[in-house]
């Protein structure tokens, strides 16, 4: 395989944001030796146009096999 790419045209995908991404820190545990931080949010992505007809494709995946 030599490589691959994805081309996005106008109005190709939509994003719905249910919960805005945020950083969340856990309470320190084990006398302060264990700490944690997480990036948390709820997002959904979907294709608006899923047709592959000539002149109507909005997302094109190009790959090659060598």
Tens of pLDDT, residue by residue over 5-28, are: 988 888 888 999 999 999 999 998
Number of domains in the chain: 1
Bridge-based pairing state of the strands 37-47 and 13-25: antiparallel
Q: Quote the percentage of the chain above a pLDDT of 70.
A: 97
- Determine the average pLDDT of the residues in 29-42: 91
- Determine the average pLDDT of the residues in 26-41: 91
What does pTM read for this prediction?
A: 0.52
* 3-state per-residue secondary structure call for 2-63: CCEEEEECCCCEEEEEEEEEEEEECCCECCCCECCEEEEEEEEEEECCCCCCCCCCCEEEEE
pLDDT at 63 > cutoff 80: yes
Domain hosting residue 47, numbered range: 4-63
pLDDT at 1 > cutoff 70: no
- Give Cα separations from 9 to 1, 16, 17, 29, 52 (angstroms): 25, 19, 21, 48, 13
């Amino acid at each position: 395989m030599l490589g691959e790419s994805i081309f996005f045209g106008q109005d190709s995908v939509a994003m719905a944001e249910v919960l805005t991404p945020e950083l969340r820190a856990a309470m320190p545990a084990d006398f302060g030796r264990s700490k944690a931080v997480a990036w948390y949010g709820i997002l959904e992505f979907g294709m608006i146009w899923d047709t592959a007809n000539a002149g109507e494709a909005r997302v094109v995946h190009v790959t090659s096999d060598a």
